[in-house]
Structure 1
Amino acid sequence: MKRMRLARLALVAVLAGLGGCASLGPTHYYQLDGGNVRAPASKDKGVAVWIESLQLADYLQRDVLLERQPDGSLATTRDHWAGPLNANVRQLLQRQLASRLNSGRVVVGEPPEGFEPQYRLELNVTRLDAGDRAPAVLDAGWQLRDAQGKLLDTQVVHLQARHDGDRAAQVRAQGDLLQQLAARLATDLTKVAQRGRRDNETARKEPKKLVEEAQAKPTLPAVVPIRTGAEVYRF
């Protein structure tokens, strides 16, 4: 009798444990949506961009997926990122920038041997999250420099996107925000490149303009003394 009672208790404990696990639900793994990208026309042409620094906020340096709460706090979920989030963000931005700039020379991280960038980019993502009752939010800033390290431009952006509330929709919205960030970066790079071309064109024209202005100035006739043959005596 005692053995039967113990066996029943053990069975109840096992069933309770299974029921608890079922109530928690399975673990899901997510990856950011990189969107539809078009491969560059050539791997060796286009503006050469080096994203030499890409930093994510400390709370994003983990594989577990965090969810923003209505009070602003972050809660741990049972779900995980399918691989390091940092690598996922790097790949997404590289593919998006290459597509938007139509350039096969967009490098993230350590550049290959012989690569000579025209522009160097330092990017810092300080926030990237969402919640079932909170929109997806991305905060980021970047510094754009030329090949010699001269600062050309700096930007700070705050982006938001609404979603349907479930976990998959949250992750999809975060991917959309990163695509918007890539669009902002491509626009900034294009504007800076166009400004650089205008400045170079002006610098080439300036010496020629100075020569033309000097040649156009009227010249005064040389002063020639007039000799009359008269002599002047002073006493």
Structure 2
Amino acid sequence: MKFGPLMLTLAAAGMLAACASPTSRFYTLAGGEARPVPSSPAAFYFELAPVDMPQQVTRNQLVVQTSPAQVQILEQDRWSSLPSDEVRRALSADLTQQLGAIDVYNTPHPESVPVYRVKVNVQRFESWPGERAVLDAVWSVRAAGSSTVLTCRTVAQEPVGSGYDALVDGHRKAVDELASAISAGMRSVASLPMDASAATAAPGTPAKGKSAVTAKPAKAPLLPCPSSGAPATASAS
């Protein structure tokens, strides 16, 4: 039995099968249009913690809605990293550009510069091909060392055209909208006097020239959310 022609035939068939196999496509939320840094950069840093995402989309494959109760997992269309990393990276870049501030999460920084901690919990991250991209997130901004916190919700729905490129671009625009809301919230918290929560930080500290008395905790200021939704109180934790 001659194996030479048979092996050549099998090799050729294998090459044809490899050529015919679908090619994976990878998408990212990074790489949008660069915006100029504000002429008056913020005089503070921010720390953007890892972003929480819904469990059903914590995978590299794109998960698209086919109906309100059904999704499809696309094996050949994937995120370049997990969606939580994609959203955090894009959001950090947006906040840096909009505020002129530096994200110092897990990075040493001067103690003399104020730091605002940002936490984002994405409730919905929906992809409707040819229809819309939805980003529904609850987020908070807290001044480091302070008991004052602003908690808000942003719901961004971006219409998209056909194709997955358009869908990813819709999610990028939704992240931009979320970043704009958080930027406004951070500036709102930063506008408060630095000692707004000092009374709650050290109750019982004697006032200068007076006997020791127990100071009454300062009432948390009411800060309106920059996006739609009910106003949030800056509460003491």
Matches within 5 A, 1:104-123: 105-107=102-104, 109-112=105-108, 114=110, 117-123=114-120
Secondary structure of the corresponding residue to residue 108 of structure 2: coil
Structure 1 equivalent of residue 71 of structure 2: 74
Deviation of 1:178 after TM superposition, in Å, equals: 0.4
Distance 1:151 1:35 in 2: 34
Q: Matched residues in 2 for 1:54 and 1:46: separation?
A: 24
Write the distance in 1 (CA, Å) between the matches of 2:49 and 2:22: 41
% same residue: 23
More helix by proportion, 1 or 2?
A: 1
Q: Which residue of 1 aligns with 2:185?
A: 188
Q: Normalising by structure 2, report the TM-score.
A: 0.66
Q: What are the residue-to-residue correspondences of 1:5-84 with 2, within 5 Å?
A: 18=17, 22=20, 25-33=22-30, 34-39=32-37, 46-77=43-74, 78-84=76-82
Residues 35 and 47 from structure 1, CA distance in 2 versus in 1: closer, same or farther, beyond 3 angstroms? Answer: same
Assess if the C-alpha contact under 8 Å between 2:26 and 2:79 holds in 1.
Answer: yes
Counterpart secondary structure, 2:190: helix
**Structure 2 counterpart of 1:136, one-letter code:** A
Distance 1:64 1:88 in 2: 13
Mapped to 1, the partners of 2:29 and 2:79 lie a distance apart of 9
Give the CA deviation at 1:150.
1.2
- Shift of residue 66, structure 1, vs aligned partner: 1.1
CA distance in 1, matches of 2:85, 2:40: 24
Larger Rg: 1
SS in 2 for 1:35: coil
Distance in 2 separating the partners of 1:41 and 1:111: 25
After superposition, the Cα gap between the structure-2 partners of 1:71 and 1:90, relative to the gap in structure 1 and judged at 3 Å, is: closer
Tell me, yes or no, if the aligned pair for 2:94 and 2:179 is still in contact at 8 Å. yes
Aligned Cα root-mean-square deviation (Å): 3.4
Residue deviations 1:35-75, cap 9 Å, x none? 323346799x6222122342222223211111111234221
Structure 2 unaligned residues grouped into runs of 5+: 197-237
Measured against aligned partners, the alpha-carbon deviations of 1:147-204 in whole angstroms (never above 9, x if no partner) come to: 224133110121101111211100110011001110110011112222x04986xxxx
